[in-house]
Chains A and B, each alone.
Chain A
Amino acid sequence: MSDTFYVASRKGLFTYRRNGADWESEAPSFLGEPVSAVLKDHRDGALYAGLNLGHFGPKLHRSDDDGNTWTELSAPTFPGADPEDKDAPSVDQIWTIAPAGEDEPGALWAGTIPGALWRSDNRGETWRLIESLWDRPEREGWFGGGYDHPGIHSVLVDPRDSAKLTLGISCGGVWKSDDRGETWRLTGKGLRSDYTPPEQSEDLNTQDPHLLAMCPSAPDTIWCQHHNGVFLSRDGGETFTEFRDIKPAVFGFAVAAHPNNPDTAYLVPGVKDECRVPVDAKFLVNKTTNGGETWNAQENGLPDGPSYDLVFRHALDIDDTGERLVMGSTTGNLWITENGGGEWRQLSAHLPPVAAIAFA
């Protein structure tokens, strides 16, 4: 059970720690700066923060004393291209930082906008572009979802074999590697889009998985909150089945997979892509405990009155017991449950917009 979590927000990184029955917020790091990604690496205790400075670009920092002091590291940087190439890439944003395998201490993966995968073997000191993915011709068919460029937001490492990776790309589908990123294949059969012409709706390369969430104890179970609905894979992201009849809506960004029960997952629904607010202004969390067959609204402790909160894709996290979940919204609300969604408690109504949450 984790007694610490981190909130990456539009104006700083906030740390919450349990103190008796309460949760207390510490003085923020990077106050006033947009924090786009946060990772607490359980292997060595390092805390990583990706910043997206409005004027000065993406930055990466690491703390080895749990946020008291920070060291700036080199952020992922594309190699120099032909100066005549006005479209040559530059990293806009670090979207996710993920630990590599348990057998790869100090190794990290990062996903960025534009949609590139990066690897560090030295605790984020230096990064190398995974060219085998960047050079795939299919990348030309990707497009931005909510941002100017496509981006990699989900990097899943199979706990049984750290060479096996699964990526989620908006909008570029689901990609898998069995050899630590040497080679890639486009997967995700069963995903469906309705933002492309009908004959392309099953095109794997233009799917928009908003987030992939793996059950660590059953890694072939991967939940997908997709732009067009909710999907589940039982074969590690090779194929997906869709759940069409989820009330009040199938749209959303965040999904959390229970760490020990592959049939349990959580969603935070919104009306639809053109109207990203709770249905009927009633904010709730949807939970399934039977592999997606049925979903139950978790509302205790969430607002009774009209609410317009949206929870971004990385802003719902679940701890290693599966009982504690924390979510933060675009309107600066922060809620925690300590009994699997049965009761939610509001920890703040006054945070900046929340981009990401990570348990220690």
Chain B
Amino acid sequence: MPQVSFTDNLMKHLPCPPTDAAGDTVHAVMESVFESNPPLRSYLVDDQGRLRKHVNIFINDRMIEDRIGLSDAVANNDRVFVFQALSGG
């Protein structure tokens, strides 16, 4: 199952330890994460489910391409990293 981890900056606002989350796309993985941690949703995506402008998601060492639909594919043993961008702080 993909493993998802978050930055210290985000953990300052709410608990979000590394977690295993099922799904074969970023969208599916993040929905699994939000299901177990509902308050996290509004921190990472906007009202329409789009990745917030100053949040980045990487699959292993690759930044995702689809920031609107989060359709990038995720494999079972991938690691998903949720970062804040260097802008916007």
Please list the residues of chain A having a beta carbon within 8 angstroms of any beta carbon in chain B: 53-57, 59, 72, 74-75, 77-81, 83, 85-86, 88-91
Residue count of chain B within 8 Å CB distance of chain A: 22
Q: Are B48 and A90 in contact (CB under 8 A)?
A: yes
Q: Across the interface, name the chain B residue whose C-beta is closest to A86.
A: B68
Please list the residues of chain B having a beta carbon within 8 angstroms of any beta carbon in chain A: 9-10, 13-14, 39, 42-44, 46-50, 52, 54-55, 68-69, 84-85, 88-89
Chain A residues with CB under 8 Å of B50's CB are: 90
Q: Are A80 and B47 in contact (CB under 8 A)?
A: yes
Q: Are A55 and B47 in contact (CB under 8 A)?
A: no
Q: Across the interface, name the chain A residue whose C-beta is closest to B68.
A: A86
Q: Would you list 16 pairs from A and B whose C-beta atoms are within 8 A, ordered by A residue?
A: A53-B43, A54-B54, A54-B88, A54-B89, A55-B88, A57-B42, A57-B52, A59-B42, A72-B39, A77-B47, A83-B68, A86-B68, A88-B48, A90-B46, A90-B50, A91-B46
Q: Are B89 and A75 in contact (CB under 8 A)?
A: no
> What CA separation (Å) do A56 and B88 show in the bound complex?
9
Q: Are A80 and B13 in contact (CB under 8 A)?
A: no
Contact of B47 among A54, A56, A89 (CB under 8 A): A89
Contact of A78 among B44, B47, B55, B68 (CB under 8 A): B47
Q: Across the interface, name the chain A residue whose C-beta is closest to B7.
A: A55
Chain B residues with CB under 8 Å of A59's CB are: 13, 42
Q: Are B42 and A55 in contact (CB under 8 A)?
A: no
Chain B residues with CB under 8 Å of A57's CB are: 42-43, 46, 52
> What CA separation (Å) do A81 and B48 show in the bound complex?
7
A60: min CB distance to chain B, Å: 10
Chain B residues with CB under 8 Å of A53's CB are: 13, 43
Chain A residues with CB under 8 Å of B10's CB are: 55-56
Q: Are A56 and B69 in contact (CB under 8 A)?
A: no
> What CA separation (Å) do A54 and B86 show in the bound complex?
10
Which 8 A-B residue pairings sit nearest by Cβ, starting from the closest?
Answer: A90-B46, A90-B47, A55-B84, A56-B43, A78-B47, A54-B89, A55-B54, A54-B88
> What CA separation (Å) do A83 and B27 show in the bound complex?
13
Question: Knowing A88-B48, A90-B48 touch, does A56 contact B68 (C-beta < 8 A)?
Answer: no
Chain A residues with CB under 8 Å of B14's CB are: 72
Chain B residues with CB under 8 Å of A79's CB are: 47
> What CA separation (Å) do A77 and B48 show in the bound complex?
9
Q: Are B46 and A56 in contact (CB under 8 A)?
A: no
B26: min CB distance to chain A, Å: 15
Q: Across the interface, name the chain B residue whose C-beta is closest to A91.
A: B47
Q: Are A83 and B69 in contact (CB under 8 A)?
A: yes
Chain B residues with CB under 8 Å of A74's CB are: 42
Q: Across the interface, name the chain A residue whose C-beta is closest to B50.
A: A90
B27: min CB distance to chain A, Å: 11
Chain B residues with CB under 8 Å of A83's CB are: 48-49, 68-69
Chain B residues with CB under 8 Å of A54's CB are: 54, 88-89
